Amino acid sequence: MGTVQKRIAALLAVLGAAFVLLVPAINAMQGRHIRLLVEQSREESRIASDIDRLIGLDRTKFANFIIDYTWWDEFADYVNRPDPQWAKDNLDTSFDACRVQAIWVYDNELRLVYVTTEPGATVDRKLPFDPTVLRERMASTPYMHTFETRPYGVVEIRAGRIHRSNDPNRTGPFTGYLVAEHVWTDTDNRDLGKLTGCSVRLVSGGARDTAATRSLGLAEYAFETPLKDHQDRTVGHLEFTGKSQAAAVLAETEMRDRWMLIAFTIVIYLGVAIALTRWVSRPLASISHALATERSDTLPAVEARKDEFGVVAGNLRQFFEQKALLEQEIVERKRAEAALQASQERLQALTVELQRSNRELQDFASVASHDLQEPLRKISAFAGRLKAKFGDALPQDGQDYLARMMNAVERMSGLIEDLLTYSRVTTRAKPFEKLNLSKLVEEVLGDLETRIQQTGGTVEVGPLPAIEADPTQMRQVFQNLIGNALKFRREGVPPVVRVHAEVIERAGGEQVRIVVSDNGIGFDEQYAERIFRVFERLHGREQYEGTGMGLAIVKKIAERHGGTAVAHGVPNEGATFTITLPVRHPEASGAADGAQS
């Protein structure tokens, strides 16, 4: 046996011994992995079982009922001035929607104002504890959450102090307490089980089932959550029993995979041993000669071998071929680079031509506006003179025709102005700058003050943020949207316009969502896209004046600012327009920084 063969045999022996020693380590690692999977599943289920953090269950509506109703001006007024009909309309209708079976309302002197129970439900109309507990438990916190024992089972109690809406932190004076009761049933256990992936069982009383706190099997686990009453006493437990599917699968397949690994390793071991013990000098010499001469004429005989040397020979031959192809590719790439350079020069020329065309288009729009307006002004002037000098002498039909002509001239002039405004959104736009939207809307309302008074309308404006935008174009947006809301009003109904905004986080940065809503005539949702088209009108000119360009200008301004404009409406109920814009623009921020420096 040669020196190379002895070294190969020694190496194979060392590898075999290492594999034998590796099997127990693999067993230990797999066992630890199973235990980790079980512990992970138990912890995930325990976290998911946190009652105060649960989402997705209908019982979440129970908690939201207390939060929402105790921050309501109407409810605060009701406690001071009880109205049975109001309570019936707003509290008695909450049973199904909010998953409650009993509701109590107390004033801040703990006098019972109202109590009601779900129709058909067998529940007690009396609190499970003295009302003074409400004052004690909510002296420093606006909410209370306990579990109590009733003759009909364990119930969940949620309560809250009733504050007005101008007290979002709920630290100021309050008018009373709202208390609600939810009876815990098997439906809650099933819903909680679906969320946690466990089997859930409610055990009432303070006794504990110790079996629920220890592992039940190789892949099973269990834990419990205590339920506390108003005196912090345990009135029951929720027992969770689950099974880690990943651990079960791993345990079932562990032995099979281990034997398959051993068999596969033996096969590979024997194959490698046979391949490594073959004679290697001749193929190595052929490969060395090919590398030295960079010729592949000695490689076909070695490549015909079905072993690693054949693969190396084939790879070496492919290397020589790829080298030749690479050299050819370099030549072709240089040709392509020359062609790309020529294309870039042509693109630059086209860009210059496009810029020239844009300038000509702007000049044409300016000239066209003058040439189109000039005849209209003359027609309007002569029509005015005709009406002033000969208006009374004209017959009724003549006066009618003259009025129609002047109205047509006025509409044509308005169309030209709106069309020019639409074209100038991008051709004559101003740079973006820091803009206070609240101040801007205040100025727009000053411009529309006469129309607001004439229509008897009101405009409610919420807090608006500062953004980077074109001041002139943002003024056009608000003038069009608020003006439309005042114009498209229902007969006999004073218009009410609401303007508010909120800052939202998006992948590209902060954006502001501006919402303008009204109580006007509204529109059918099928026209939500159509109303943003140029000259698009949903109503006749006899009903509502206008050119049909306002919303098209709004949409184009929003797009120029990198935003969107959408509309929603309900016939005879009103319309809502939502403009979403970036709060900041990189080019505007950079300009501001440069000015400061």
In the predicted model, what is the mean pLDDT of the chain?
A: 80
Say whether 241 sits in a helix, a strand or coil: strand
DSSP helix, strand, coil percent of the chain (3-state; round to 5): 55, 20, 25
CATH superfamily to which 57-197 belongs:
PAS domain (3.30.450.20)
The CATH architecture to which 430-594 belongs is 2-Layer Sandwich (3.30)
Bridge-partner residues for 105, per DSSP?
114, 178
What is the reported pLDDT for 20?
Answer: 67
Domain ranges of the chain: 3-49+246-276, 57-197, 280-428, 430-594
Strand runs (DSSP E) across 229-328, as ranges?
Answer: 234-243
Per-residue H/E/C for 181-224? EEECCHHHHHHHHHHHCCEEEEEECCCCCHHHHCCCCCCEEEEE
DSSP conformation class of 92 = T
Distance CA 563, CA 556 (A): 9
What is the reported pLDDT for 579?
Answer: 94
Top pLDDT among 100 and 46 is at 100
Is pLDDT at 428 greater than 70 in this prediction? no
What is the reported pLDDT for 590?
Answer: 43
In the block, tokens 């100025």 appear at: 443
Q: Could you please report the per-residue DSSP string of 398-446?
A: HHHHHHHHHHHHHHHHHHHHHHHHHHHHHHTPPPPEEEEHHHHHHHHHH
Q: How confident is the model at residue 211 (pLDDT cuts 50, 70, 90)?
A: very low
What is the reported pLDDT for 55?
Answer: 43
Distance CA 526, CA 87 (A): 39
Contact assessment for residue 83 and residue 257, using Cβ atoms and an 8 Å cutoff = no
Alpha carbon 310 to its chain centroid, in Å, reads 57
The tens digit of pLDDT for each residue in 164-208 reads 999 989 999 999 999 999 999 888 888 888 888 888 888 887 656
* Of residues 166, 174, 170, 191, the one with CA closest to residue 62: 191
The tens digit of pLDDT for each residue in 115-170 reads 999 998 889 999 999 999 999 999 999 999 999 999 998 999 999 999 999 998 99
Mean pLDDT of 75-91: 93
State if pTM tops 0.75.
Answer: no
